[in-house]
Amino acid sequence: MPKHFFFDLDNTLTASRRRIEPAHAELFGKLCEAADVIVVTGGTAVHIREQLTPAFEGRYLLLAQSGNHAIDKNGTELWYGPFSADQVAATLSCIEILKKSFGLTVKDENDLIDNRGAQISYSVIGYHEDPAKKDAFDPDFSKRRAMLDRFPKEIAALAKVGVEVFPAGSSGYNFTIIGKDKGANVGRLVSLKGWDKDECIYIGDALGPGENDASVIGVIPTKSVKDYHETYEYLSSILV
């Protein structure tokens, strides 16, 4: 069994933006006792703690904001790399273009953009929209990829200030600093801790080309799951 388990959060440990299911909590707790557990997500530390509940506080490491805000089990901040003012401005400009191009009527215009500090995220239909509607919006990422393909000049402008964008979660985009994606930050933690990469594993539901877990491929061993139910089926099979 691996010694160090890295997990995506949404649709890998929990349903998107929802709390861990009681049926899975016991198994997650057993894993925290048996190995190092690291949660790697575009969300903030607050999001991670809310979804995994206070019951597991201090039992796992956090790589929030695609790993650009790293927090050890004991609460020590290992690193934090926020956007510059120019990066924020370029990102918000790109989001406005995407919003106009999608042309959707949403419940709350103030529920679309989340500037997390080291990452900016945009939900096309709203973070607090009905979960079923979010899940059905773009399950294969094709709508969001096609939209990005329409704006090569805008994507190039982002790159000039050091920002990249990719579809993430059920209905959004993540904007991150180039070279500081999940893969880079997973590798940074493995190096900092002195872990053997062959004793690590990354588990995620978005390991396909261009998806938000794909940058981890080649950094440490990976396992693709279709959803969080499959994650716990796998954990049940190895935790004996």
* Single pTM value for the model: 0.86
Q: Report pLDDT digits (tens) over 123-153.
A: 999 998 998 999 899 998 999 999 999 999 9
- Report the alpha-carbon distance of residue 227 to residue 71 in Å, rounded: 25
Integer CA distances (angstroms), 159 to 60, 86, 179, in order = 33, 12, 11
We report the CATH number of the domain holding residue 136 as 3.30.1240.20
Enter the tokens of residue 84: 């510059």
Mean pLDDT of 50-55: 97
DSSP three-state, residue 107: coil
pLDDT at 109 over 90: yes
- Do 69 and 187 have their domain in common? yes
- Do 157 and 74 have their domain in common? no
User: Last residue of some domain: 133, 152, 177?
Assistant: 177
- Do 17 and 124 have their domain in common? no
The number of domains in the chain is: 2
User: Last residue of some domain: 159, 177, 195?
Assistant: 177
Which residue range is the domain that position 55 belongs to?
A: 4-81+180-238
pLDDT at 68 over 90: yes
Q: Give the model's pLDDT for residue 24.
A: 97
